[in-house]
Amino acid sequence: FETNIAEIQAEALTVMENKEEIKARPADYSGLDVETLEPGTLNVNVQDQVSQFGVGTIEIPSIGLKLPVLEGITQANISIGVGTAKPNQAIGKGNFALLGHYMTNSGLLLGGLKQVSKGDEIHLTYFDKQATYRVVESKVIHQSEGKYMLDDPEEPHYLTLLTCDGSRVG
């Protein structure tokens, strides 16, 4: 199962195509189909998914993370990378939020996020914009607080990455 996810991650980073077509395509931000990632549930055509919703990449060099960024929060999107949490996000405006699956293997999806340290760099490419962020805080919150982590402040502009803090059913 972990080998399949690693292969899917690698493949997803090589597929990105015409981002202008993606901007015009409606994306799902509801997260209603997101469930625990199990070996039998991983049924994603990586090339189709990334060509339809791939809009960039995220890289955290300190933990060896490099993933595609896909528009919207669907099980398919976050099974191969991270999904944008809200429509019409822009680098440098408010809270740019991304969600992804946690994996017990720190080299898969957002499994290594627990190992980031204050000051680590995060490189984000989104459509034609690039930015480098620095980690200022890493914390565990209750799932009921997740929606508040997506709020848009006037200042400062920042990046929020959300994942589960462990692998457990429910």
Q: Which residue among the candidates 101, 123, 142, 157 is catalytic per the annotation?
A: 101
Give 66: exposed, middle or buried? Use CB within 10 Å, 0-12, 13-18, 19+.
middle
Annotated catalytic, 101? yes
Q: Is 164 assigned a catalytic role? A: yes
Write out the catalytic residue numbers. Answer: 101, 164
